[in-house]
Amino acid sequence: MNKVASLRASLCGVFALALLFALACGAPTEQAAPSAPAAADTQAQQAAPDATAAPAQQQQAAPTATTALAQPAGMSDASAGGAAPTAAPEPTEAPAAELGAPVQADLRVAITPPYAENLLGWRVGGTNQGMLQPMQEALFQRDYQTWEARPMLAESWSVSPDGKEWNIKLRENVPFHHEEDTFGVSDFVFSFQLWSHPEAKTGFGDFWHQILGPDSDDQRSYDVDALGSAPTVTEVSDSEMVWNMNRPELWIPFYASEATTDPLIYSLDYWEKVGEGEYGLNPVGTGPWKFVNYEQGARLEYERAFDDHWRINPDFDTLTFFFAEEDLTRVAMLRAKEADIAEIPRELQGEIVNAGFAITQSTLPAFMVWIGIGGQYLEDRYDPNDPNTNVLVRRAMNHAIDREALNEAFFDNKMELMANTGWHPTDPSFDPAWEIPAYDPDASRQLLAEAGYTDGSGPNIEFMAGKLVGVPELTEIAVPIISWLEEVGFEVDAQIGEFQPIRTRYKAREMNGVLWTHRTGFWPAGRNMRVYFVSPTLAGAVYMYEDPFTEDLFTKWQSSVDEAERLQLMKDAGQYMYDQSATMPLGFLFAEFGINPEVIASYSVNNS
């Protein structure tokens, strides 16, 4: 699966686990209603100089606790107030149940195992850390309706006018689970050192380096004597610090949030007392759940950490994750009521519903599904003979496929169709005028003719498809897509199997003439730009579209501290990529889980 990183990592893991984590925790009753259509740049707004966030206690106050037939979710109020995702399919209605005392003390969750298991999250990185989020917190959290940054362990923050100095006030008197230490600046710095450690497998490790400053190499040192102090962080007091960057960066509340999974907070005090080995066996954090037991490959057990946690009081006494690789095993666990929540593949969801269980889904999508058009290395590897570099051919590809038929046949119409890869309607830089490419084979043939393919033999292309966790349909949808492309004249060499060869090729920037189905996480447009649509020199990761024009816009966006300018730059980049048909957008998919309505009475969960 997937198992796989997607493997061990794909974003599925984190989406799944954090979603479940949200389910496992009590709902914050007073969470501030999300404002406006915010999104990516709302964070810039949030981060604007002198903007100070309200104390989290006011925003996400007391736990509902009472759940029960529990109201387990942590995001219900937010979702109630937030803008519904466009065309979001309705979740299956669970049988109505009255709220009351919890019917049981334990919440049991059956999921596919993470790609890599280690209780020191920085050693396995990315989505594998999702299973640790019940136990560990980050500086910031994200509003899953509006993308706004919200306080977590950072109580308030402001950024200097040049965007290089972040003054962060940390929440005081937040104890770690070993209860001999409270969170402070040294814990943050220590954690930061772990995220950017040379052996760390965190996805943002290199990003931290970019922003650290001229002596950034020192940050990756692992000198025990230096733990807890760093030249780029100035300790104002134990609960206040100034974080210095070598370039403007307004998205710190995003990158240092639990949404990105990397920046979890570790206790320096505990580390110094017990050492790394013991920390890895009996980890601690500041979260609402405390580590109890872990059997590798089988289960991870938590219990409620505090009687009154500063952020969320869980509705259950214990939380157990069971790692079950086989889909049918998870179905059996749910049906036998050994699990209250289980990850159920789409093709088995009907059976669960027929048996009296319910399917719940995230408030926002968890996945973005699209087809990459390789070979658009418009600088150093530009090949004019590659059909993929011709915008007419790319438009022809986009009009050749029937997205609605795909949605109906493979996704039970649960996919929210996408107009421009990387831009969701909730993102402020999204343009409502963008249209989902229509299925029009005649237009497609006409475009190919205009591109010079007039003799009936269309461009030769390769089509690759491989399975990824969360969206196993990636290989299945390839079959009709190839058929539609051939119907309008493309000559397709298909390779369907594992995703690994695809990743190897795009990492090597050898995707000339290749199309491939891809599943990625759901992120703000700016983050998508950085990962998918810029070259290695700008710290891109999936090298499929490297255009000097958009790279220039991205560079300006990254260094700008003017909110309006940043928004316009991201809009321009999106418009350009839309006009250029840079990719073949397909749609957004939601995270879905089977639940036992006898235990979970109401649910409203985020996508992370």
Partner 1 sequence: MQRYIILRIAQSVVALLVISAIVFALARVTGDPVAILLPEDASPKVVEQIRTKWGLDQPIYVQYAKYIGNFVTGDFGEAWAYGGVPITELIARRLPNTIYLASFAWIVSAGIALPIGVLVAVKKDTVFDWTGKIIALIGQSAPSFAIGLLLMWVFAVILGWLPTSGNDAGFKSILLPGIALGYYNVAAVMRLTRSSMLEVLDTEYVKLARIKGMPERKVIWKHCFRNALIVPFTYMGLIGAVLLTGSVVIETVFVWPGLGDLAIDAIRNRDFPVIQAVVILFATFYIFINLLVDVMYAYLNPRIRYN
Query: Which residues contact partner 1 (rule: CB under 8 A)?
Result: 1-5, 7-9, 113, 115-118, 120, 123-127, 198-199, 201-206, 280, 295-299, 322-326, 328-329, 332-333, 335-336, 338, 498, 500-501, 503-504, 507, 520, 530-531, 536, 539, 541-542
Q: How far apart are CA 67 and CA 346, in angstroms?
A: 28
- The least distance separating partner 1 from the CB of residue 577, rounded to whole angstroms, comes to 19
On whether the CB atoms of residues 465 and 474 are closer than 8 A, the answer is: yes
Q: Would you say 10 or 389 has its CB closer to partner 1?
A: 10
- The least distance separating partner 1 from the CB of residue 71, rounded to whole angstroms, comes to 27
Q: Would you say 453 or 523 has its CB closer to partner 1?
A: 523
φ, ψ for residue 321 (rounded to 5)? -100, 125
Joined together, the tokens standing for residue 42 give 């709302």
- The least distance separating partner 1 from the CB of residue 392, rounded to whole angstroms, comes to 30
Would you tell me how many other CB atoms lie within 10 Å of the CB of residue 93?
11
On the CB side of 41, how many CA atoms lie within 13 Å of its CA?
A: 19
Q: How far apart are CA 12 and CA 367, in angstroms?
A: 8
Taking CA atoms, 523 is separated from 423, 531, 600, in Å, by 9, 10, 28
β-sheet with 240-244: strand ranges across: 154-159, 165-170, 240-244, 233-237
Longest CA span, the chain: 77
On whether the CB atoms of residues 424 and 528 are closer than 8 A, the answer is: no
- The least distance separating partner 1 from the CB of residue 507, rounded to whole angstroms, comes to 6
Strand bridging mode 341-342 / 106-111: parallel
- The least distance separating partner 1 from the CB of residue 324, rounded to whole angstroms, comes to 5
Q: Would you say 54 or 281 has its CB closer to partner 1?
A: 281
Q: Would you say 246 or 575 has its CB closer to partner 1?
A: 246
Q: Would you say 4 or 233 has its CB closer to partner 1?
A: 4
Joined together, the tokens standing for residue 374 give 């390789």
- The least distance separating partner 1 from the CB of residue 226, rounded to whole angstroms, comes to 20
Q: Would you say 59 or 112 has its CB closer to partner 1?
A: 112
Q: How far apart are CA 18 and CA 129, in angstroms?
A: 10
- The least distance separating partner 1 from the CB of residue 532, rounded to whole angstroms, comes to 9
Q: Would you say 278 or 338 has its CB closer to partner 1?
A: 338
Among 364, 122, 361, 150, residue whose Cα is nearest residue 257: 150
- The least distance separating partner 1 from the CB of residue 10, rounded to whole angstroms, comes to 8
Q: Would you say 377 or 453 has its CB closer to partner 1?
A: 377
Q: How far apart are CA 472 and CA 327, in angstroms?
A: 12
On whether the CB atoms of residues 517 and 375 are closer than 8 A, the answer is: no
- The least distance separating partner 1 from the CB of residue 67, rounded to whole angstroms, comes to 25
Residue 377: strand pairing partners = 546
Residue 304 DSSP SS3 = strand
- The least distance separating partner 1 from the CB of residue 516, rounded to whole angstroms, comes to 14
Determine the angle formed by the axes of helices 185-195 and 205-212, rounding to 10 degrees.
120
Q: Would you say 122 or 183 has its CB closer to partner 1?
A: 122
Q: How far apart are CA 22 and CA 107, in angstroms?
A: 12
Q: Would you say 100 or 501 has its CB closer to partner 1?
A: 501
